[in-house]
Chains A and B, each alone.
Chain A
Amino acid sequence: MSGEDLILDVADLWVAFPSYRAAPVHALKGVDLQIAPGAMIGLVGESGSGKTTLARAIMGLVPPPGVVERGRVLFAGKDLRRMDAEARRHLLGREIAMVIPNPRAELNPVIPVGRQIANVVFHHLGVSRKEATGVALDMLRAVRIPDPERRLNAYPHELSGGMAQRVVIAIALACSPKLVISDDATSGLDVTVQAQVLDLLRSMVQEKGAATLFITRDVAITAHFCTRIAVIYAGQLVEMADTRAFFARPAHPYSIMLLAAFSHNPALRARWTRAAGEIADAAGEGCAFAQRCVRRQPRCLTDIPTLRAIAPGHLARCHYPVEERQ
């Protein structure tokens, strides 16, 4: 697929956080990621792996003092990094929308939620305040919030977590964006509510035809949700494959470790996880995962592996990708 057709084309993206009297810490080390229109990509990784930094870097909002060192972010063919801040701001919320994890802290506590939805519509779509409020009401209805007319005037603290999450989804989809980035959007919810909200999010993005970058720590969620899965570890993508292939034949030991961690098979988990005592502190010259890898070979500590195709459409960053089924 050519770059023109992609909704999002991230190439060799590096993000550094300067640290006092030491070499800068790299939160992203050369990430490549392509998203086709309407696709749903799952991005899986543990905390600190760079998931959120990637989302923020795409939007051009890396938290200070972090800086994007190099790389390219093309959104629908437009270079977001070369765009001036004002032009990029017009894309955020309208074409690139964010679904956040902790809505009761991230929605403005002193503005009624209806106003918050209407605000985004008003500032992006150039409609009147009244029309924007109408859209807000429609969106509250669309995200199936009971009694939407009354909820329009509710403040965030008056809503349950699941309800607030629906409001955030309503804000994200109010302007019919082309790309929705969901950052750990359901991690704060009860499991049952989580499933409802996920289903809602999926049906809403499908209805609007938006592409989705679905960032999560929970690899199990991506199985139902995504067409393609990328695994990120220490600021690098370590595996990327279509969902079916990924779950059938995960190739990177880290991916398998993640899958094993969510499985109910203690033996599998034990086989793919190194005990904490065996993990060395310093990452060496070689593979970033080598210290925690159960299949480590001498070469892994000296040579840096590249992300390479091990099957059509299936990429892994490993010298010795796992071939057998688990």
Chain B
Amino acid sequence: MPILRYIGRRVLFVIPQLFGIILVSFFLVKLIPGDPAVMMLGPTASTQSIAELRDKLGLSKPLITQFGRYLHDVARGDLGTSWQTTRPVTEDLFQRFPATLELITLGLLVALAIGFPLGVAAARRRRGPIRKFADYYGLLAGALPDFWLALVLIYVFYTALGWIPAPLGRIDMAVVPPPTVTGSLVIDSLIAGNLAALASSLGHLLLPVLTLGLINAGPILKMTQSTVERTLSSDFIRYAEMCGLPRRVVLRQAVRAALPSVLTIVSVLYGFLIGGAVLVEIVFSWGGAGQYAVQGVLNADVNPVLGFVVFSAVLSLVIYLVVDLLYFALDPRMRG
């Protein structure tokens, strides 16, 4: 089975890839000025207590020793402790990553639902209102910052119209959240059969998902449009026309041929949004992984930052593996 061998090889490569990623990010994070010991003890701490804490944390040892110790811990699945939350980073991340993933997965689905059909429709005609709309939309989505759009949406739908719950977190304070199974509140509410929690979490998801969807539909639209346009003038589509196949069949073949490119842009966006959705997370007080990492950077809390990097790296590698498998399914030429 060539596919199984391919997966095996890819998984094997994950180890050196992870090592490289940890190596680079460890030293980059250490370059950031700021002493965790000072931050932890506060401005009134004595020099002596700071030195003692540095010794305890291993910060007085050479960097390379610190790196070796960190690697050793990571290999055992221990990403250290965050001094801000005083909890193991792994635990924190397992709590926060599902929040981010739920947000960006739904956001990208909405982006696909907007960008893909619009891109196909725009590719079919070089002129006309649809094409104009698609052009302006692509420009606007590329130019607008997502947090700004989030604020506008909050103003319109919460402040002015009052249609949605307050943009604070993932679920109403008053609603009892379902027991955690997957970490996605929507799925967990469904599993628990908790309709109140489901309604509340969907209400809270609405605006951030719409924000990410509207903004990220831009690149998906552009990629779909240019690829479908190119395939529509390709040799095999011209031949399909010469064979007198119906227009919808020809269009379907062109769209089908454009799928790998759309898949590529979606996977790139997904990897990017794991950390890139942080501004939207902050606006909606989402408590996601990006927010956690930024808090870590701002407070010289090294372990959450590195833990986030490791988590996102593993996730990205998984995503790219899945995408490569989808390429296999989509294009018989890859199977050879």
Considering the complex, give the chain B residue whose CB is closest to the CB of A97: B243
Residue in contact with A171 in the complex, picked from B241, B243, B247, CB distance below 8 Å = B243
Distance from A173 Cβ to chain B, minimum over Cβ atoms (Å): 12
B241, A61: Cβ atoms under 8 Å? Answer: yes
Residue in contact with A106 in the complex, picked from B239, B247, B249, B257, CB distance below 8 Å = B239
B244, A109: Cβ atoms under 8 Å? Answer: no
Residue in contact with B244 in the complex, picked from A89, A105, A106, A108, CB distance below 8 Å = A89
A110, B244: Cβ atoms under 8 Å? Answer: no
Let me know if B19 is at the binding interface, CB within 8 A: no
A109, B249: Cβ atoms under 8 Å? Answer: no
Considering the complex, give the chain B residue whose CB is closest to the CB of A56: B242
In whole angstroms, how far apart are the Cα atoms of A89 and B244 in the complex? Answer: 5
In whole angstroms, how far apart are the Cα atoms of A259 and B50 in the complex? Answer: 96
In whole angstroms, how far apart are the Cα atoms of A200 and B240 in the complex? Answer: 23
A108, B249: Cβ atoms under 8 Å? Answer: no
B243, A61: Cβ atoms under 8 Å? Answer: no
Interface size on B, residues (CB 8 A): 21
Interface centre among B239, B243, B333 (most CB of A within 10 A): B243
Please, which residues of chain A bring their CB within 8 A of the CB of B244? 89-94, 120, 123-124
Let me know if B322 is at the binding interface, CB within 8 A: no
Please, which residues of chain B bring their CB within 8 A of the CB of A201? none
In whole angstroms, how far apart are the Cα atoms of A107 and B253 in the complex? Answer: 11
A157, B332: Cβ atoms under 8 Å? Answer: yes
Let me know if A229 is at the binding interface, CB within 8 A: no
Please, which residues of chain B bring their CB within 8 A of the CB of A123? 244-246, 249
Let me know if B330 is at the binding interface, CB within 8 A: yes
Please, which residues of chain A bring their CB within 8 A of the CB of B230? none
Let me know if A272 is at the binding interface, CB within 8 A: no
Let me know if A59 is at the binding interface, CB within 8 A: yes
Distance from B175 Cβ to chain A, minimum over Cβ atoms (Å): 48
In whole angstroms, how far apart are the Cα atoms of A109 and B336 in the complex? Answer: 13
In whole angstroms, how far apart are the Cα atoms of A123 and B246 in the complex? Answer: 7
Distance from B131 Cβ to chain A, minimum over Cβ atoms (Å): 15
Let me know if A98 is at the binding interface, CB within 8 A: yes
8 A Cβ contacts from B274-295 to A = none
B235, A61: Cβ atoms under 8 Å? Answer: no
Let me know if B52 is at the binding interface, CB within 8 A: no
Let me know if A102 is at the binding interface, CB within 8 A: yes
8 A Cβ contacts from B191-247 to A = 235-236, 238-247
A120, B256: Cβ atoms under 8 Å? Answer: no
A109, B240: Cβ atoms under 8 Å? Answer: no
Distance from A91 Cβ to chain B, minimum over Cβ atoms (Å): 7
Considering the complex, give the chain B residue whose CB is closest to the CB of A112: B332
In whole angstroms, how far apart are the Cα atoms of A63 and B237 in the complex? Answer: 12
In whole angstroms, how far apart are the Cα atoms of A107 and B246 in the complex? Answer: 16
A106, B235: Cβ atoms under 8 Å? Answer: yes
Residue in contact with A102 in the complex, picked from B235, B245, B257, CB distance below 8 Å = B235
Distance from A136 Cβ to chain B, minimum over Cβ atoms (Å): 13
Distance from A203 Cβ to chain B, minimum over Cβ atoms (Å): 22
In whole angstroms, how far apart are the Cα atoms of A107 and B234 in the complex? Answer: 11
Please, which residues of chain B bring their CB within 8 A of the CB of A92? 241-244
B332, A106: Cβ atoms under 8 Å? Answer: no
B243, A98: Cβ atoms under 8 Å? Answer: yes
Let me know if A14 is at the binding interface, CB within 8 A: no
Distance from A110 Cβ to chain B, minimum over Cβ atoms (Å): 6
Let me know if A254 is at the binding interface, CB within 8 A: no
A109, B236: Cβ atoms under 8 Å? Answer: yes
Please, which residues of chain A bring their CB within 8 A of the CB of B238? 61, 63, 106
Let me know if A100 is at the binding interface, CB within 8 A: yes
Let me know if B331 is at the binding interface, CB within 8 A: yes
Let me know if A34 is at the binding interface, CB within 8 A: no
Let me know if A155 is at the binding interface, CB within 8 A: yes
Distance from B277 Cβ to chain A, minimum over Cβ atoms (Å): 33
Please, which residues of chain B bring their CB within 8 A of the CB of A158? 336
In whole angstroms, how far apart are the Cα atoms of A119 and B333 in the complex? Answer: 21
Distance from A63 Cβ to chain B, minimum over Cβ atoms (Å): 8
B242, A59: Cβ atoms under 8 Å? Answer: yes
Please, which residues of chain A bring their CB within 8 A of the CB of B245? 93, 119-120, 123
A157, B242: Cβ atoms under 8 Å? Answer: no
B332, A105: Cβ atoms under 8 Å? Answer: no
Residue in contact with A107 in the complex, picked from B236, B241, B333, B336, CB distance below 8 Å = B236
Residue in contact with A109 in the complex, picked from B242, B247, B332, CB distance below 8 Å = B332
Query: In the complex where A110-B256, A119-B249, A123-B249 touch, is A105 in contact with B242 (Cβ < 8 A)?
Result: no
In whole angstroms, how far apart are the Cα atoms of A94 and B244 in the complex? Answer: 8
Considering the complex, give the chain A residue whose CB is closest to the CB of B254: A108
8 A Cβ contacts from B243-280 to A = 243-247, 249, 253, 256-257
In whole angstroms, how far apart are the Cα atoms of A90 and B246 in the complex? Answer: 8
B240, A100: Cβ atoms under 8 Å? Answer: no
A108, B236: Cβ atoms under 8 Å? Answer: yes
Distance from A159 Cβ to chain B, minimum over Cβ atoms (Å): 12
B257, A110: Cβ atoms under 8 Å? Answer: yes
In whole angstroms, how far apart are the Cα atoms of A106 and B160 in the complex? Answer: 56
Please, which residues of chain A bring their CB within 8 A of the CB of B235? 102, 105-106
Distance from B245 Cβ to chain A, minimum over Cβ atoms (Å): 6
> Residues on B close to A: CB < 8 A?
235-236, 238-247, 249, 253, 256-257, 330-333, 336
30 pairs, CB–CB < 8 Å, chain A vs chain B:
A61-B238, A61-B241, A61-B242, A89-B246, A90-B244, A92-B241, A92-B244, A93-B245, A98-B242, A98-B243, A100-B239, A102-B235, A106-B236, A108-B253, A109-B236, A109-B333, A110-B256, A110-B257, A110-B330, A110-B331, A110-B332, A120-B243, A123-B244, A123-B246, A124-B244, A155-B332, A157-B332, A157-B336, A158-B336, A171-B243
> What 5 A-B pairs have minimum CB-CB distances, sorted nearest first?
A93-B244, A92-B244, A93-B243, A106-B239, A155-B332
> Residues on A close to B: CB < 8 A?
59, 61, 63, 89-94, 97-98, 100, 102, 105-111, 119-120, 123-124, 155, 157-158, 171
Additional A-B contacts beyond A90-B244, A102-B235 (5; CB < 8 A): A61-B241, A63-B238, A89-B246, A97-B243, A109-B331
